[in-house]
Amino acid sequence: MGPPPAQVSFDMEVGEAFEYREKTQALAVKAVEERAAKATAKAAEKAAPEEKPAAAAKAAPMKKKRVKCEHRRQRSLCKECGGSGVCEHGRQRNKCKECGGSGICEHGRQRSQCKDCSGIVVRKKCEHGRQRSF
């Protein structure tokens, strides 16, 4: 770029400083216009997406979408469909005591609700150590 603005006033003549100022303002205006053009193009692309070549389609990974089954449930948690998240006892695998699910603490309670483990989610409790109802 050039010298910092503090040095410009000491090192340049008045006319040179004025020209320098005009150039920097013109560059700033051009940058603002370029940003506005990019934003407009991006908005137009969202409104009417164009077909892109196969190489350009590999830009960013898409967000993983939950797959619903014919029963309008998340497929992995559906008992009727035999989802992978359902254990042999018919419960969610991570919440089943008999299967030793990851959501069960060493005290045999739901990990997030266990007062001895103080749970992952700290909930407001009364003076008796119980969860308050709202």
Q: What is the reported pTM? A: 0.39
Classify residue 58: in a domain, yes or no. no
Classify residue 97: in a domain, yes or no. no
Residue 7: its H or E element: helix 5-11
Classify residue 22: in a domain, yes or no. yes
> What pLDDT, on a 0 to 100 scale, did the predictor assign at position 8?
47
> What pLDDT, on a 0 to 100 scale, did the predictor assign at position 58?
60
Classify residue 82: in a domain, yes or no. no
Closest CA to 114 of 99, 124, 104, 127: 104
Closest CA to 49 of 59, 35, 36: 59
Count of structural domains within the chain: 2
Q: What is the DSSP letter of 23?
A: H
Classify residue 125: in a domain, yes or no. yes
Between CA 10 and CA 25 the distance in angstroms is 20
> What pLDDT, on a 0 to 100 scale, did the predictor assign at position 68?
87
Classify residue 9: in a domain, yes or no. yes
pLDDT by position in tens, the chain (length 134):
555 554 444 555 666 777 778 888 888 888 889 988 888 888 877 776 555 555 555 666 777 777 888 888 888 889 998 888 999 999 999 999 998 888 898 888 888 778 777 655 555 677 787 776 65
> What pLDDT, on a 0 to 100 scale, did the predictor assign at position 86?
92
Classify residue 12: in a domain, yes or no. yes
| Identity of the amino acid at 109 | R
> What pLDDT, on a 0 to 100 scale, did the predictor assign at position 119?
58
Provide the residue count of the chain: 134
**Residues 29-49: tens digit of each pLDDT:** 888 899 888 888 888 777 765
Residue 1: domain span: 1-31
Q: Which residues pair with 125 in a beta bridge?
A: 131
Classify residue 46: in a domain, yes or no. no
